[in-house]
Every structure is written in structure tokens, then in C-alpha cells.
Homo-oligomer: A and B are copies of this chain.
Amino acid sequence: MEKTPITVAYGDGIGPEIMQATLDILQAGGAQLDIETIEIGEKVYLSGNSAGIAPEAWESLRRTKVFLKAPITTPQGGGFKSLNVTTRKVLGLFANVRPCVAYSPFVSTKHPAMDVVIVRENEEDLYAGIEHQQTQEVVQCLKLISRPGTEKIIRYAFEYARAYGRKKVTCFSKDNIMKQTDGLFHKVFDEVAAEYPELENEHWIVDIGAAKLADTPEVFDVIVMPNLYGDILSDVAAQIAGSVGLAGSANIGQEVAMFEAIHGSAPRRAGQNLANPSGLLLGSIMMLVHIGQNEAAERVHNAWLKTLEDGIHTYDIFDASVSTEKVGTREFAQA
């Protein structure tokens, strides 16, 4: 089997440890990868590049079109731009896909039947990043919703549901208040939903939808929503499923796709062999499926599940009632 070229960034904080663990596991699982490494994040920022990424790195990404990215640190102050947001924008990564699944009884959760995929619009909304100061005392930020952007994400959600055998797509928006912006999102949802008669569809106002999600997540399947709601509610969903440390995500563009953990770089835990590589590993499994290495994806996923089921847990999800062994990043990867 030919090796697929991918671009890898080791990131900051706990990034290098969990990336090493992840790559070791992928290799053991038979993934065929030809890895180009790029430098992004803290060092690049501090070298005076406010975007945190060098021109050569973009070239690698445009060449391989597949990016496995560890969490990075944006230095405080000094007008550094969030690299997460920059990458999404420059590469047109319009869909942020975040599966939030309970692994009960192996990871403790109050919502054992939960299996939700949040499909978050990833370029528009308040993340367009247009802010300005009107007077000394008044600042504003622009929320942007476009029809093409909305159509793209909603169609993606329905295509995803179809491809993965899901039954229902739910839309969250606040169109009782934002009649034009969130109203457009809802309207386009209804239009696109009509093209997928075999899938159930429903709409919730985001406040009460979020309440339902936090209380009885098992009633949801795929949920599509604008950027900021998706940011907040994917953290909620991942956490109540078990832990934000256990969720991976795919950022999908027309050409390039980026895979990552949803958690951050936890600088205080760096270098201590404490970190749980599961979020990045689950992101990398989504990557294997994306590049067509489904068998390796399944092997790695099964090995990961087996390790969880055997009760071999890193400290963050360690729970005396279900875990048998508390291990470090390296030992978890070996298992």
C-alpha cells in the first residue's frame, strides 16, 4: 500500500507528547503515512510572526491537503491571532465535525446512551473577526451569515448523516431574536432538509435546545449550528459525554482537511507524561477514514476501545470504580 503524505505539527504544551503517542499508535495500527513536519505556534509567534505559522508551512499544507495538528499556545497579549481561526479561514475549513460519544461504563458519565455529532459552521458568525471601537465606551462585533456559507454547512451535515447511517439532523438557531441572520440559517436548513426525505429533521431555538442537549443528549443525533453556538455546545456535549479530553474533531474544507483534539495545550501539564492522547488519537482516526485507510482506522479504534475497556486510564479520566490501572501518556500508548 502506498503511503499517504500528511502534514503534522507537534504543537506546544502537552502537544509534542500526545502527538508522539498518537503517531506511535497509528504506526502500530498499520497506518501508511508519509509525514512532513511543520513548525507552528509559540516559537513562531515569538519569532515575530503574528500569525504563528510560516509561509513554508502553508506550502506543505497545500501540497499534502491533510493536516494532523496538536494543540498550540497563543502567547498572551501582543495582538497574536488565533492560529486555529487563521487556519480555518486561510484553508477554507468550513465544517467542524465533533463526535461526542459516551464510552460507558468504561468512562464515567451521567449520559451513557449519548452519541451526538455536532457539525459546527467554521468560518462565519462572530468569528469573522470584525470588531471595532465606536467611541471610548462602545465596542461592536459583526455577526455574519451568508447563504452560500450556510448552504455549504447544512448540506455537509445531511451528507454526513447519510454517509454514516445517521437518522436525524437537528438545527439550532436563535431566529426568534435574530430574524435575519439566524432566520436565514433556519430557512436554508428547511430548504436543504427537503432534499433528504429519508432523514428526519427538526429545529430547536438554541436556548431550549442547549438545555435539552445538556439534560437528555440521547434524543439528538447530528446537530448543525452556526459557529459560536457550535463552539460552546460542542464543549458542553464532549464534557458531559465523558470529558473534553476524549473528543477529536475534523475541520473540513473543499480541498484541505485538518484533524485535531478539541482540548487545548495545557502548558501546566506539559512534559510530565500525564496527558491523555485520546482526543488527538480520535481526531487521527477521523483522518485515516478521510484518506481512505479504513482498515487501519478500525484497528486503531478497536485497540483504543480495548485499552479503555481494560480500565487502563490516564489520570484525567481515572475513576476508581471503573479503572484498573492509572498510567502515563507513554504507557497508555503502548497499551
- Which positions 40-81 of chain A face chain B at CB distance < 8 Å? 74
Q: Are A207 and B235 in contact (CB under 8 A)?
A: yes
Known A232-B229, A235-B207; contact A139-B145, beta-carbon cutoff 8 A: yes
- Which positions 125-182 of chain A face chain B at CB distance < 8 Å? 126-127, 129, 131-133, 136-148, 174, 176-181
Q: Give the residues in chain B near A234, CB-CB below 8 Å.
A: 207
Stretch at the interface among A18-26, A237-245, A284-292: A237-245
Stretch at the interface among A211-219, A274-282, A316-324: A211-219
Residue of B nearest to A127 (CB): B177
Q: Are A184 and B139 in contact (CB under 8 A)?
A: yes
Q: Give the residues in chain B near A132, CB-CB below 8 Å.
A: 180
Distance (whole angstroms) from the CB of A267 to the closest CB of chain B = 15
Is A199 located at the chain interface by the 8 A CB criterion?
A: no
Is A85 located at the chain interface by the 8 A CB criterion?
A: yes
Q: Are B214 and A126 in contact (CB under 8 A)?
A: no
Known A208-B244, A240-B215; contact A139-B180, beta-carbon cutoff 8 A: yes
Residue of B nearest to A263 (CB): B208
Cα(A308)–Cα(B283), bound, Å: 46
Distance (whole angstroms) from the CB of A318 to the closest CB of chain B = 16
Residue from B174, B178, B231 within 8 A of A207 (CB atoms): B231
Known A126-B177, A180-B141; contact A232-B206, beta-carbon cutoff 8 A: yes
Cα(A229)–Cα(B206), bound, Å: 11
Is A269 located at the chain interface by the 8 A CB criterion?
A: no
Is A256 located at the chain interface by the 8 A CB criterion?
A: no
Residue of B nearest to A212 (CB): B239
Q: Give the residues in chain B near A180, CB-CB below 8 Å.
A: 131-133, 139, 141
Is A113 located at the chain interface by the 8 A CB criterion?
A: no
Q: Give the residues in chain B near A214, CB-CB below 8 Å.
A: 214, 236, 239-240
**Which chain A residues have a beta carbon within 8 Å of chain B's beta carbons?**
74, 82, 85, 110, 126-127, 129, 131-133, 136-148, 174, 176-181, 184, 206-208, 210-212, 214-215, 228-229, 231-236, 238-240, 244
Closest 3 CB pairs of A and B: A211-B239, A211-B235, A131-B180
